A and B are shown apart, each in its own frame.
Chain A
Amino acid sequence: MKKSDKMKGWHVVIVDDEPDSLEVAKRALRFHGAEVHMAGGGKQGLEVATETRPNVVLTDLSMPEFDGWQLLFHLREAEETSNIPVIALTAHAMKGDEERAMKAGFNGYITKPLSPLTLVDDILRILQPVEPSGA
């Protein structure tokens, strides 16, 4: 497969407490031209997102201490990050999370495990109406 530029110029923040999951997602996104910022927890994710003002934040929901729900709350609360789209990464086992995530204010959800083949297309589909604000 040839390198793509589907996400050229995008800044994406991925938050997950599982490093290997992060790594898989990072490689898939980079393959399509995105700049990827990784965070191993919610708190770190908030710092990184506040600093880099990404085009989208992907976050796992269940993480110790500072989870995905809290991250969304804080991002929405701060004015400078309130408009950043946030996509939830939901576990297959946790039934009902999808619906709850939509009600809580996530822009969309992608069911884990993330497939490197479909991840980028899923993100673009969810954010379709949203124009990339970055360069």
Chain B
Amino acid sequence: MTISESKSPSNLLPRIVMTVAVIVGLLIVWQLLTFVALSSRTADGTAINISGRQRMLSQQITKGALELTTPNSARASETVLEELEASVTLWAAAHEALQTGSAEFNLTGNNSQTVVGLFADIQPQHDEIVSAAQCIVALEGNASSETECSDEPTAYVQVISANEADFLQGMDAIVNQYEVELAATERTISLYNLLFPVLIAVVGVGSSLFVLRPLTLSRNRMIDELGQAQKNLTAANAEARTRADRLQTLVTVSQSRDLPLKQQIEDVLRAVLGTIGADIGIVSRIEPEEDRYTVMYHVSPEGALEDGQEFLFKRTFCETTLTANDVVAIEHTAKSALSTHPCYADTSLESYIGVPITVDGKRYGTLNFSSPNPHDVLFTEGDKDFVRVMGDWVSRAIERDNAQKKLEEQNEQLRRASAMAKEANRLKSEFLATMSHELRTPLNAVIGFAEIMLNGMGGDIDDDAHHMVERMHANSTRLLSLINDVLDMAKIEARRVEINYAPLSLRGFVSSLSNEMSSLAASEQVRFITKIDAQLPERILADEPHLHRVAVNLLSNAFKFTTEGTVSLLVRSHENDQYQIVVQDTGTGIPAHQKQVIFEPFRQADGSSKRSYAGTGLGLAITQELVRAMEGFIVVDSELGIGSTFTVTLPLRLHESEAQPEGSTL
């Protein structure tokens, strides 16, 4: 492409203007020339006509002159004379006009040299005829003549006759010449009509070279440029699509974390294959010291590979990848330095792109893509970056999976340990329950026999024996109580306490406790007082055995530590649909720092080392657990030497018939 051809289309405008101007100029010239030629033709025609008339006039002059000089003329001589005079005047004027032009005769007088020459040739004859005719007119009219007309009129007629023939011959030549010139003018017009269209056509055709050719070239250039732009756009589109596909791949993989690892990785491999242009995608595990390459995950044409399939590591392209410790890309093995690599001999893979992957800080293997076909274009930096990113992703995915598996394993271990612990606990509780039952049965027999003896049902015994049986009975009873506590604690620890709500009369409950516990008072110095809030409903829903156990434990405790004063039991309503069981004593009290300890199993306020009071130390622990099981809570308020107050607060569950107790403020 030359420089002139590369001019932009805007430079064509002057050319177009010039071309049009030339054509318009040609048209104007053509029309002007045609106009001139046509004018000339008209003038020649007029001259021919007038020349013809001159011939006729000269003959009339001759005839008139002859008639005047002939005595037996038919017509009056005056008439002939006038005619002759008019003819001579007109003839002379026309002759003058033909040579010099005249508006009167519509003549231009523009005669060619030939015509001028011809006129000059006949000028003497003309002059002779005119003077002769004038002399005849003067002689015959008897008028004075300025000229010298000395001869006889007949002499002048002879002069006219003598010159007429030559004059007519000259005029014929002039008419002929005019006709020749007229024909030439017509030819000129014809020539113009032929020449100018040809010229215009030539200019038109020339303009196609001058204007259209550059225009065509310019258009062709634009088409070329458009084609190139189209190609660039297509390439850009393909690039954009590739990027979009890769972005989609990243989005997809970022959302696939819930899937199994194998599926996640295969999805990634498949997605990358599509965007990078390969047929086989592999995540490999490489153990260089074993020279082992294992296919961990892969995507390939049907049946080409299997997960777990092994290769000799040194006979794979991945060997080069690990050596490079970066992306290795081969577009066409046969044309590359790797054409001698054993992998090519084994697999005939023509293209390959692979990146090392590291898991948990240790070299794991590679992510690689390959094909038996050459890669049609060079792998770009973008391709390599993408493979690196995907390699990182695969690394992280494997790490996550490892961590997940580890976590699951730990959880499983924990679960097993927990299940074993639970089972052991259950077995322990079951054992304790069985043992307690087995322990109580013979103990009950001991207690039973002691009671038989103490009550004289087995016959009379002396006081000493009675005393000993009494001790036997007391110790057996205490042992039974201990066993019961252990059994209850075991049940509580095994979470086998079931709460069963049934209708209960609180007044009946309190009065039976009053009867039951009054015998526990250590001496007559301890008074037992019970009181019930009148605002409480008559019947509520409660687990009577557990509630009884709680009250008995707290009262037993109170009596145990009270040597004088009072032990009181108060049942009262409490805010928020609750009620309270309050056990108050005037006993030894509990040191502040021991208030929490007393609720722990196997502990007493004085500490386990100094057992000044009987009991397992389980009573309060059991009480607290039972209260909790009934969705309540227990608090203790105590002052050393003054006494203790245990307050149990429980939700108040109303029996249906007591749903709206009269007089209740609850």
- Chain A interfacial positions (CB closer than 8 Å to B): 1-2, 18, 20-21, 23-24, 27-28, 31, 91, 93, 95, 112-117
Contact = CB atoms under 8 A, between A and B. Distances in A.
A20 B437 contact: no
A115 B457 contact: no
A21 B445 contact: yes
Q: Give the dominant DSSP class at A's interface.
A: loop
B452 A24 contact: yes
A20 B452 contact: no
Contacts of B498: 95
A56 to B, nearest CB: 19
Contacts of B457: 1, 27-28, 31, 116
A28 B452 contact: yes
B429 to A, nearest CB: 13
Contacts of B437: 91, 93
Number of contact residues on B: which range applies? 10 to 19
Nearest to B441: A18
A28 to B, nearest CB: 6
Interface of B: 433, 436-437, 440-442, 444-445, 447-449, 451-452, 455-458, 487, 498
A20 to B, nearest CB: 4
B455 A24 contact: no
A117 B457 CA distance: 10
Contacts of B448: 20-21, 24, 113-116
Given A27-B457, A28-B452, 15 more contacts: A1-B455, A1-B456, A1-B457, A18-B441, A20-B445, A23-B449, A24-B448, A24-B452, A91-B437, A93-B436, A93-B437, A93-B487, A116-B451, A117-B451, A117-B455
A42 B436 CA distance: 25
A16 to B, nearest CB: 11
12 contacts: A1-B455, A18-B441, A18-B445, A20-B442, A21-B441, A24-B449, A95-B498, A113-B448, A115-B448, A116-B451, A117-B451, A117-B455
Contact of B444 (A1, A21, A27, A95): A21
Nearest to B433: A93
Contacts of B436: 93
Given A24-B449, A91-B437, A93-B433, A113 B455 contact: no
Q: Give the dominant DSSP class at B's interface.
A: helix
Contacts of A115: 448, 451
B223 to A, nearest CB: 101
A116 B456 contact: no
A18 B441 CA distance: 8
Contact of A116 (B433, B442, B455, B487): B455
Contacts of B447: 113
Contacts of A113: 440, 444-445, 447-448
Contacts of A112: 444
Contacts of A114: 448
A18 B445 CA distance: 9
A14 to B, nearest CB: 13
Contacts of B455: 1, 31, 116-117
Nearest to A113: B444
Contact of B445 (A24, A91, A95): A24
Contacts of B433: 93
A113 B440 CA distance: 9
A27 B442 contact: no
A7 to B, nearest CB: 13
Q: When A and B form their complex, which 3 residue pairs have the shortest distance between CB atoms, in order from nearest?
A: A113-B444, A24-B448, A20-B445
Contact of A27 (B440, B452, B487): B452
A118 to B, nearest CB: 10
Contacts of A93: 433, 436-437, 487
Contacts of A18: 441, 445
Nearest to B491: A93
Nearest to A24: B448
Contacts of B456: 1-2
A49 B433 CA distance: 34
A113 B481 CA distance: 13
A101 B441 CA distance: 21
Nearest to B447: A113
Nearest to A91: B437
B87 to A, nearest CB: 177
Contacts of A95: 498
A116 B451 CA distance: 7
Nearest to A115: B451
A18 B437 CA distance: 13
Contacts of B445: 18, 20-21, 23-24, 113
Quick one: which of A1, A2, A93 has the most chain B CB within 10 A? A93
